[in-house]
Amino acid sequence: MVEEQHASPDEQGQQQCIFCHIASGRVASKKVYEDDKVVAVLDINPANPGHVLIVPKEHYVIMPQIPEDILQHIGMVAKGVSHAQLRALKVQGTNLFVANGVAAGQRAQHFMMHVIPRREGDQIGFAIPEKTMSAADMKKAQQVLKKALAKSLGLNAPDAPESHEEEQVPHEEAKKEPEKKKEVAPKKEAPAKKPGKGANLDEIARLLGG
């Protein structure tokens, strides 16, 4: 609730964020993969040997703040890391795990995806419980979520996503470079939602910053 006078909570968090320092190389880590968008490092408190954290280089506290292209990239790198673990460590499975918000078990103030190598009987609890819901409750959940999802997918927006034309027009390829600058744009968090209905994403992010 305390208002920051100079730095926004986001900027302040960045200066103190250990994962920003790891991503930039100011703090030593065991890197297994790196590109312009992400770094993959060994977790120093691993669930199993070879437990990897995929960390975006930009500072994002929770997933909803991450631009589409970065998130897609994280997913594709996770597949690669999982494959590398299966082959290099001779394990029989992997877990991909994201905790968004304190209630979901998130502890760091920087978004990351865990990729955890697994062996039979290693006693790590990712088993997802299965419960039964009444048909009426299921139907209700479907209606509510379908509507909310259509909104978050922007399905009702008038401007549909444009199709890519790089394949057809070779000259366009040279122009592709400057697009990178745009990626940085969505860093500012969305304005706070009116209190009352639904959870506030800013609040969820702020809880981690404290």
Subset of 149-178 contacting other proteins (CB under 8 A)? 149-153, 163-168
Rounded-to-integer distance, Cα 114 and Cα 90, Å:
18
27 contributes a contact to other proteins by CB under 8 A: no
Query: From the CB of 159, what's the least distance to other proteins, in Å?
Result: 17
State residue 79 phi and psi, 5-degree precision.
-60, -45
> Which CB, 4 or 68, lies closer to other proteins?
68
> Which whole-number Å values give the CA distances from 171 to 16, 175, 180, 185, in the listed order?
43, 8, 18, 26
63 contributes a contact to other proteins by CB under 8 A: yes
Rounded-to-integer distance, Cα 179 and Cα 122, Å:
45
82 contributes a contact to other proteins by CB under 8 A: yes
Rounded-to-integer distance, Cα 127 and Cα 165, Å:
44
Residue 129 tokens, joined: 């419980």
Residue from 7, 18, 27, 102 binding other proteins (CB under 8 A): 102
Residue from 32, 39, 53, 61 binding other proteins (CB under 8 A): 32
- CB–CB of 38/66 below 8 Å? no
> Which CB, 7 or 141, lies closer to other proteins?
141
Query: From the CB of 196, what's the least distance to other proteins, in Å?
Result: 10
> Which CB, 27 or 149, lies closer to other proteins?
149
142 contributes a contact to other proteins by CB under 8 A: yes
Task: Quote the Cα angle for 105-108-29, to 5°.
Answer: 125
Query: From the CB of 172, what's the least distance to other proteins, in Å?
Result: 12
> Which CB, 7 or 145, lies closer to other proteins?
145
